[in-house]
Structure 1
Amino acid sequence: MPALDFARLVTGLREQTEVFAAAVAGGDPEAVVPTCPEWRLRTLVAHLGQACRWGAGLVRTGLPAPLPDPSGVDPGAPGGWGEWLRAGAEELAEAVRKVGEDAEVWSFLGPAPAAFWLRRMCCEAAVHGYDAALATGAAYGIADDLAADVVTEGMELMSHPRAETFKPELALMRGAGERLAFRPRGMDGWVISRLPEGLRWERGNGPGDVVVPGTVTDIMLVLSRRIPPAAVSGDRALLEHWLAHSAF
């Protein structure tokens, strides 16, 4: 289950949808998104808005459905993007509210509570909000608890027993006990252990063969490969290998 409760996930999705909507307001629909260079700004908008609606459908039916190609989704005229994005976020929140946050639904990891999709889209909006802001030069911001949950969700996804079934490349992340430590200022960090049987992680500020410090937002953006790490100590090659093979 998510570390944040249902109410916070709803407000978090709304907050990050607003950050995204503010970033794309007035932007050039054909602007290249530097961190998603295969996409134009319109495609990024289409992806986030449709992903929330897709998630809502999964919650309502409990059954799998293919994720639409964002290049074939029409988010409407740029002047209406904000309203369209907000409507998608609300549709998802309402779907989870209606079936119940603990209701069992489909996920790519197997059966999961409906709140899984609310959390997944909150994290998606958080990272893509940065993409949108970078593309348009807008301000970007995220609350510390949301940024921390993006990191935690990523750890949970990559260490899940079924993770290698949908991302076989994660087998390359197995190791002999190497440890990567991510230490955000003012809160507990995360330590990833690369073991022969797979990845393990824990909260805390334990030792690592490589250590990455920064704000919690910095850590979130480094792990999502949006910004380069700074002030790294220890085995930088270990970190680079992680970043090169952990993309979803």
Structure 2
Amino acid sequence: MRELGHERLALGLKEQTAAFARVVAEADPDTVVPTCPEWRVRDLAGHIGQAHRWAAEIVRTGAYAAVPAVPDAEPGEPARWTGWLEEGAATLAGAVRDGGPDRPVWTFLGPRPALFWLRRMLNETCVHHADAALATGAGYEVAADLAADGIGEGLALLSDPAAEAFLPRLAGLRGRGERIAIRPSDTTGWTITRTPDGVRYEHGDTTGDVTAAGAVADLLLLFSRRLPSGHPRLTITGDRALLDHWLAATKF
């Protein structure tokens, strides 16, 4: 799978941040977010706005910056959320553009190109846009290429050799060759293999011990645990326990 380039990632971040902002700006700030049960809509808005600015600071300096805590990520008055959120996304995209997408910067997996943070924050925003929509009953849309990139990025992170050092519990994803197939109806899929040495994946339509099928946007929400595996828009065939274990073990 060819990863999305700087221009598409920047445009995607702009699109998804604007869509997220529309949902949260029209909601009661104290609405509980069921998929992030300790958060309210206000916390969700604060998290996204601060996360974009945090990533932009890392890109500008190339160095680690302290992660902002959600209670400290106060977004201000709801009437100002849209502009504040869109400004944060633009700040991050501009930092990547100005410093160069390929410039090495700090990440939790070791030095990576600055584009890492644009992609990471885009996919974070896509998922939290879904959180906001699920909390408020609003519609949710994400372009197929962005949804596919979200799944691909998640698999790349989980299979990175540095992932277990950063999060040792990911060693629980090791296995004996068990295969999980992801089969979107609107793009090429992926197959995850749990090996004794860690997670491996390939892009392409092959078979698995369990297969999850549906639209790529719904599969993104499944693998980010925003839709249950029993949702009517999804079709699960094979060893459902294998899929359930994966989903439980990759909860963050």
TM-score (norm 1): 0.98
Alignment match, 2:25: 25
Determine if the alignment matches structure 1 residue 241 to structure 2 residue 217.
Answer: no
Q: How many angstroms does 1:189 deviate by?
A: 0.4
Q: What letter is aligned with 2:235?
A: A
The amino acid across from 1:207 in the alignment is T
Aligned mates of 2:19, 2:184 — CA distance in 1: 22
> Aligned with 1:31: secondary structure?
coil
> How far has the Cα of 1:157 moved from its partner?
0.3
Residue 36 of structure 2 corresponds to: 36
One-letter amino acid of the structure 2 residue matched with residue 129 of structure 1: H
Q: In structure 2, how many angstroms separate the alpha carbons of the residues matched to 1:211 and 1:73?
A: 39
The total of aligned residue pairs comes to: 248
Q: Is the 8 A contact 1:175 1:196 kept in 2?
A: yes
Using the alignment, how far apart are the partners of 1:210 and 1:154 within structure 2? Answer: 18
Aligned match of 2:14? 14
**Mapped contact 1:26–1:79 kept (Cα < 8 A):** no
The match for 1:113 is: 113
Partner of 2:195: 195
Report the secondary structure of 2:29's partner residue.
coil
**Preserved contact between residue 28 and residue 41 of structure 2 (Cα < 8 Å):** yes
The aligned counterpart of 1:209 is: 209
Following superposition, the deviation at residue 65 of structure 1 comes to 1.2
1:160 and 2:164 are equivalent in the alignment: no
Which 5+ residue runs of structure 2 have no aligned equivalent? Answer: none
Distance, in Å, in 2 between the alignment partners of 1:81 and 1:192 is: 39
Aligned counterparts of 1:154 and 1:29: Cα–Cα separation in 2:
29
Cα distance between partner residues in 2 of 1:85 and 1:21 = 7
1:141 aligned residue: 141
Q: Write out per-residue CA displacement over residues 33-85 of structure 1, whole angstroms, 9 at most, x where no aligned residue.
A: 01000101100000000000000000001000111101112211001111100
2:186 is paired with a residue whose SS is coil
Distance in 2 separating the partners of 1:52 and 1:186: 30
Matched, 1:72 2:72: yes
**Structure-1 separation of matches of 2:14 and 2:138:** 18
2:46 aligns with 46
**SS of the residue aligned with 1:117?**
helix
**Structure 1 residue 206 displacement after superposition:** 0.2
Please name the residue that 1:181 is paired with.
181
The Cα of 1:25 is off from its aligned counterpart by 1.8
Equivalent position SS for 2:235: coil
Deviation at 1:12, TM superposition (A): 0.3
**Gaps spanning 5+ residues in structure 1: where?**
none
Shift of 1:204: 0.9
1:99 corresponds to 2:99 = yes
Give CA-to-partner distance per residue, 1:77-106, whole Å, 9 cap, x none: 001111100000000011111110000100
Are positions 1:221 and 2:201 aligned together? no
1:231 Cα offset (Å): 2.1
Query: 2 CA distance for matches of 1:244 and 1:214?
Result: 20
Structure 1 residue 27: deviation in Å? Answer: 0.8
3-state SS of 1:191 partner = strand
Aligned to 1:127: 127
Task: Give 3-state SS (helix, strand or coil) of 1:232's partner.
Answer: strand
SS, match of residue 202 in structure 2: strand
Tell whether the 8 Å contact from 2:144 to 2:186 is kept in structure 1 after alignment: no
Divergent runs of 4+, >6 A? none
| Deviations, residues 220-242 of structure 1 (Å, cap 9, x unaligned) | 00000000123211000000000
Residue 183 of structure 1 aligns with an amino acid whose one-letter code is R
TM-score (norm 2): 0.96
